[in-house]
A and B are shown apart, each in its own frame.
Chain A
Amino acid sequence: MAALNIVSRFAEIGIQDRPSVGGKGASLGELARAGIRVPSGCVVTTSAFERFLTILDPQGSIRRGVSKLSAQDSAAIVQLSEQVRAQIECAPLPEDLQSAIAAAYEELHRAPENATCPVAIRSSATSEDSAEASFAGLQDTYLWVRGSDSVIRHVRKCWASLYSVESLTYRRRLNIPEEGLAMGVVIQQMIDSRCSGVMFTRSPTTGDRSVVVLEASWGLGSAIVSGEVTPDKYVISKVTGEIVQRNVSTKLREHLPNSHGAGVSDQEVPEERQNIPCLSDDELHALVTIARQVERHYHAPQDIEWAVSRNHSPGGNLFLLQSRPETVWAAKDKAPVAAPKGKAFDHVIALLSGGALKK
């Protein structure tokens, strides 16, 4: 048997490695390789998961059970979900997996700027983050996890989340086969964000490809994603770099790392910071440059999560946490705005014809 690859560092993987590290992991690896700054990290591979699952369930009864479920039968789904999740979270972990994950965490730990080494543990399913179906949010993410025991515990929780009620229902509804379905888990250095947000390299409201639309708020990105805060919103022209629109809103809440170690707490933003922009124009332009770089790299509009670190100095403090292909407008892109005409001036004649000539 060939040596099992339990953990892959970001630097070793790219988008083609989706089957072995899952969508999120592959995408982060791809970004890192393309020279985009992402928090350093690694992925517990799908093979590791497969190995764990095989030991836990040599007969494949779990997958068979799921395949037989009907999407409508929620009672059965809940029951199976509870049973499988408990199994995955409690069963003993093979020694080689345990030590490989601990070693990978130790490696992150040694990164000098990250002495206390809080990490984010994020599920990275093989079917997630694809352009076709946005699987986002169905699997779990755990922030501010510290210590190798806790890391291992949360890796198992991520694996287990593949069998959450939501995930199971979703897979059954879309008839996604269980065979070959696997879960990678990203272990990634946690960024203590001064502010964070999302950006779209195409306007989510109009589909305009010439602008980047960026939202930003104080603290960790979870405050924006969960909708607890109205973020500052900017529209920036990709072509001229002009800030076409700038709405600084009142930002009342921010998510911050918990002072006693692990987890996140939701806090009120001090009054003096509520109404001021959380990004400088320089940071804004730097983020737009990165967004365009990612878009060019993938040759497609992107939906990006980013953060500005408190603990890194300017010039090295902007991080991308995730980039996904934009899916909404990509599906609408059919009718061209205009087609060429016989003569250039035919466009004018058509426009001034009062609708008598088709534009």
Chain B
Amino acid sequence: MPTDAKRTFLLPSQITEVPGAAGWESMYPYYTKFQPEDDQRFWFYNAMHFPEPMPAFDAITGEVAYEGLGAFTTRIFVFPTTMGIEHRIANGRVYITANPVSDPAEIGRRLELFQERAGYYYENWNRILGEWTTRMENMIREIAAIQAPTLPEHAPIENVTNATGLGENHYIKEKYHRLLELYSKMWHHHFEMLMLGYGAYMVFFQFCKKAFPETPDQTIARMVAGIEVLMFRPDDELKRLAKKAIEHNVDDLFTADCDPQDVLAAMQKRGENGQKWLAELEKSREPWFHMSTGDGFYHHHLSWNDDLSVPFSALPRYVEQLRQGVSLDRPTEKLKEERTRIIGEFRELLSSPDEQQAFDQMLGLCHLVFPFVEDHKFYCEHWFTTLFFKKVKTFGALLVAKDVLVEADDIFHLQYVEIESLLADLSLSWAGGGKPLGRNHWRPIIEKRKRILGRLKDWNAPPALGPIPDDISDPALQMLWGITNETLETWSSSATALDAREIKGFAASPGIVEGIARVLKNVNDIAQIREGEILVCPVTAPSWGPVFGKIKAAVSDIGGTMSHAAIVAREYGLPAVVGCGSATTRIKTGQRLRVDGNRGIVRILD
């Protein structure tokens, strides 16, 4: 919130300790700490990707993601006006700032390289995308194949007969390192084409904003969005499974609040029909249930495969709708026709053939990049990331077996470099025949960190820190940050708003409804959502698709009009207001809200 007329948010050095959370710094590397000189720079809370306080291990996602992103913007494609992102962690929250390039001579030098390099990717986009997909699929296969680490009392005989010349304790380290390497590689690939993809969007949006200044972003987004993208598939699979349940006469098992394990057990007793449905389920699970229950940035964002409660919470509703004769098929042909009509009409409204040609070029480029921009999420944030955390957890399980940790998830309360040292301890003790010393060293630390995280959850993180920049109109900067001058205005005005009952955000999907709020700070609580409620969350994660059939409207702290959630909300015809800054702290579950998706305003009615 701006503290004075000089237009500055709270300074990093002014952040106060959260009671009971002293010592949080020990959870993160030294290079994520705010430095005194950081007070001179503008930072903002990356609540879009990191809406919760970071467990010590999970902070690796910030680290390797910004390594990958910056490598491409700063060094590989050499974006003219911006380098990469620096991040800091305060009270468990990730704050970021971009490094702009302002010297015109330097911009010129970078531009020359950028033209050649970005041009090469755009010109060869589909070939590179094909290679990208193969690379990613290979990496997914590789990480999936990594076996849980073991330290048996005696090495297996094959160790001798194959003369491997290595002890199991070596493989522990090798596997752990391989996991980290693959995670780093994945994040590099994640950003390989993404910023260029966003660049294409940005050009088209800016064009439309000039040609059609009163047309909402959400309408422009409809011209860009693809109809058949991977991210819709998991939800489509649930609809398919609902159909199969009716077809095989096992639909009675899907009742409101049914427990997945009970359903699976009951299925076993339904003879051939039950088996048929289970076979269909298996078909869907591989790969479509490799969908994160969140957006894949935290270890507790399990995949549907590992937590069936999310997909199963949508099934009873789909079954019920099918029984009532509602068609659940996405009307893809109709959606395509509608998109074609909208594009054609806007094109017709342009004032010259020149403009129309430019429009065609820009929109064509958007359609070229759209499949990557949408589909990469399934490969990276969902499929790969859920496998990664699951594999790390197998090290936790080994440490539990060796009486070091209390539970497997405890491993996520250690920094990845701390795990390295714990594995050395484990390896030495296995080899030496003694006991690992980690139990006494790490258990108290882990206990303390869990307590701290619990306290940090309640911290009302300021949306931004430091002096507000005069102008962040540079498109590359906006793209990297995901915020604009308007965002800053919205945040500063919502903090000083006279009317505390009104929350401003961005209109992401049109319509006005009233209903009861359900505030979900943690995606794992998704099953709490009841029919007809208004979802209020830090960020609307893509995998919440199935829930959109249940809710009346969606409100989020962070998000933009091309976010997957906004696209889904528009398809479901649900009003959505995104990027509200602090909706989850200002709204309480049970309050009556009016969500105005036309104007981007949420009003608390109670």
CB atoms of B510 and A242 under 8 A apart: yes
B213 an interface residue at 8 Å Cβ cutoff? yes
B residues near A203, Cβ cutoff 8 Å? 213-214
CB atoms of B361 and A244 under 8 A apart: no
CB atoms of A345 and B122 under 8 A apart: yes
Bound together, the chains give a CA A211 to CA B357 distance in angstroms of: 22
B79 an interface residue at 8 Å Cβ cutoff? yes
Of B107-115, B267-275, B415-423, B485-493, the one touching chain A: B107-115
Shortest Cβ distance from A36 into chain B, in angstroms?
21
Shortest Cβ distance from B98 into chain A, in angstroms?
13
B354 an interface residue at 8 Å Cβ cutoff? yes
CB atoms of A351 and B346 under 8 A apart: no
CB atoms of B345 and A239 under 8 A apart: yes
CB atoms of B210 and A244 under 8 A apart: no
Query: A210 with B365: in contact, given A352-B475, A356-B80 (CB under 8 Å)?
Result: no
CB atoms of A349 and B114 under 8 A apart: yes
B543 an interface residue at 8 Å Cβ cutoff? no
B residues near A239, Cβ cutoff 8 Å? 215, 219, 342, 345-346, 349
Q: Which of A336, A352, A357 gathers most chain B CB within 10 Å?
A: A352
Bound together, the chains give a CA A340 to CA B357 distance in angstroms of: 6
The 8 A CB mask of A337-359 against B (1 = contact, 0 = none) is: 11111011101110111101100
Across the two chains, which residue of chain B brings its CB closest to A239?
A: B345
CB atoms of B215 and A211 under 8 A apart: yes
CB atoms of A337 and B355 under 8 A apart: yes
CB atoms of A340 and B361 under 8 A apart: yes
The 8 A CB mask of B579-606 against A (1 = contact, 0 = none) is: 0000000000000000000110000000
B residues near A244, Cβ cutoff 8 Å? 214-216, 598
Bound together, the chains give a CA A209 to CA B207 distance in angstroms of: 14
A residues near B476, Cβ cutoff 8 Å? 352, 354
A residues near B355, Cβ cutoff 8 Å? 336-339
CB atoms of A338 and B346 under 8 A apart: no
Q: Among the listed A209, A245, A345, A356, which residue makes an inter-chain contact with B107, where contact means beta carbons less than 8 Å apart?
A: A356
A84 an interface residue at 8 Å Cβ cutoff? no
Q: Among the listed A240, A246, A345, A354, which residue makes an inter-chain contact with B80, where contact means beta carbons less than 8 Å apart?
A: A354
Query: A210 with B199: in contact, given A338-B358, A340-B361 (CB under 8 Å)?
Result: no
Shortest Cβ distance from B276 into chain A, in angstroms?
43
B206 an interface residue at 8 Å Cβ cutoff? yes
A residues near B357, Cβ cutoff 8 Å? 339-340
The 8 A CB mask of A310-349 against B (1 = contact, 0 = none) is: 0000000000000000000000010011111101110111
Bound together, the chains give a CA A210 to CA B215 distance in angstroms of: 7
CB atoms of A348 and B115 under 8 A apart: no
CB atoms of B361 and A344 under 8 A apart: yes
Q: Among the listed A211, A235, A246, A352, which residue makes an inter-chain contact with B79, where contact means beta carbons less than 8 Å apart?
A: A352
CB atoms of A245 and B352 under 8 A apart: no
B118 an interface residue at 8 Å Cβ cutoff? yes
Q: Which of A238, A337, A348 gathers most chain B CB within 10 Å?
A: A348
Shortest Cβ distance from B223 into chain A, in angstroms?
10
The 8 A CB mask of B98-137 against A (1 = contact, 0 = none) is: 0001001001100100110011001100000000000000
B571 an interface residue at 8 Å Cβ cutoff? no
A residues near B214, Cβ cutoff 8 Å? 203, 206, 208, 210-211, 235, 244-245
Query: A348 with B510: in contact, given A237-B219, A240-B219 (CB under 8 Å)?
Result: no
Bound together, the chains give a CA A80 to CA B398 distance in angstroms of: 107
CB atoms of A345 and B118 under 8 A apart: yes
Shortest Cβ distance from B142 into chain A, in angstroms?
33
The 8 A CB mask of B193-206 against A (1 = contact, 0 = none) is: 00010011011001
CB atoms of A209 and B212 under 8 A apart: yes
Interface of A is mostly: loop
Bound together, the chains give a CA A242 to CA B220 distance in angstroms of: 13
B362 an interface residue at 8 Å Cβ cutoff? yes
User: How many residues of B are in contact with the other chain, CB < 8 A?
Assistant: 54
A69 an interface residue at 8 Å Cβ cutoff? no
Query: A351 with B199: in contact, given A242-B216, A337-B210 (CB under 8 Å)?
Result: yes
CB atoms of B81 and A352 under 8 A apart: yes
Across the two chains, which residue of chain A brings its CB closest to B363?
A: A344
B14 an interface residue at 8 Å Cβ cutoff? no
Q: Among the listed A210, A211, A345, which residue makes an inter-chain contact with B123, where contact means beta carbons less than 8 Å apart?
A: A345
B residues near A264, Cβ cutoff 8 Å? none
A residues near B79, Cβ cutoff 8 Å? 352
CB atoms of A340 and B196 under 8 A apart: no
B17 an interface residue at 8 Å Cβ cutoff? no
B residues near A240, Cβ cutoff 8 Å? 219, 222, 342
Bound together, the chains give a CA A211 to CA B216 distance in angstroms of: 11
A138 an interface residue at 8 Å Cβ cutoff? no
B residues near A243, Cβ cutoff 8 Å? 598
CB atoms of B203 and A351 under 8 A apart: yes
A residues near B199, Cβ cutoff 8 Å? 348, 351-352
Across the two chains, which residue of chain B brings its CB closest to A338?
A: B358
Bound together, the chains give a CA A135 to CA B119 distance in angstroms of: 54
B211 an interface residue at 8 Å Cβ cutoff? yes
B residues near A206, Cβ cutoff 8 Å? 213-214
Across the two chains, which residue of chain A brings its CB closest to B351?
A: A333
Across the two chains, which residue of chain A brings its CB closest to B77?
A: A352
Bound together, the chains give a CA A294 to CA B30 distance in angstroms of: 68
A residues near B475, Cβ cutoff 8 Å? 351-352
Query: A348 with B118: in contact, given A210-B349, A246-B598, A336-B354 (CB under 8 Å)?
Result: yes
Across the two chains, which residue of chain A brings its CB closest to B213?
A: A206
Q: Among the listed A211, A340, A348, which residue makes an inter-chain contact with B354, where contact means beta carbons less than 8 Å apart?
A: A340
CB-CB contacts below 8 Å: A116-168 with B: none
A residues near B114, Cβ cutoff 8 Å? 349, 352-353
CB atoms of A348 and B365 under 8 A apart: yes
A residues near B20, Cβ cutoff 8 Å? none
Shortest Cβ distance from A11 into chain B, in angstroms?
31
Query: A349 with B115: in contact, given A337-B355, A356-B108 (CB under 8 Å)?
Result: yes
Shortest Cβ distance from A98 into chain B, in angstroms?
50
B174 an interface residue at 8 Å Cβ cutoff? no
Q: Which of A343, A344, A345, A356 gathers most chain B CB within 10 Å?
A: A345
B residues near A336, Cβ cutoff 8 Å? 351-352, 354-355, 358
CB atoms of A209 and B213 under 8 A apart: no
A residues near B359, Cβ cutoff 8 Å? 338
Across the two chains, which residue of chain B brings its CB closest to A341?
A: B361
Q: Among the listed A210, A211, A348, A357, which residue makes an inter-chain contact with B111, where contact means beta carbons less than 8 Å apart?
A: A357
B474 an interface residue at 8 Å Cβ cutoff? yes
Across the two chains, which residue of chain B brings its CB closest to A344?
A: B361
Bound together, the chains give a CA A61 to CA B447 distance in angstroms of: 107
Bound together, the chains give a CA A356 to CA B510 distance in angstroms of: 38
A residues near B360, Cβ cutoff 8 Å? 340
Query: A345 with B219: in contact, given A210-B212, A338-B207, A351-B206 (CB under 8 Å)?
Result: no
Told that A208-B215, A246-B598, A352-B80 touch, could you supply 10 new A-B pairs with CB distance under 8 A? A210-B215, A237-B215, A239-B349, A245-B214, A245-B598, A338-B355, A339-B357, A344-B364, A349-B118, A352-B81
Q: Give me the 9 closest cross-chain CB pairs, A-B, nearest first.
A: A345-B122, A354-B81, A340-B357, A344-B361, A338-B358, A206-B213, A348-B199, A210-B212, A208-B214
Q: Which residues of A contact B (CB under 8 A)?
A: 203, 206-211, 235, 237-240, 242-246, 333, 336-341, 343-345, 347-349, 351-354, 356-357
Can you report 19 A-B residue pairs in the complex whose CB atoms are below 8 A from each other?
A: A208-B212, A209-B212, A210-B349, A239-B349, A242-B598, A245-B214, A245-B598, A336-B358, A337-B355, A337-B358, A338-B207, A343-B122, A347-B203, A347-B361, A353-B80, A353-B81, A356-B104, A356-B107, A356-B111
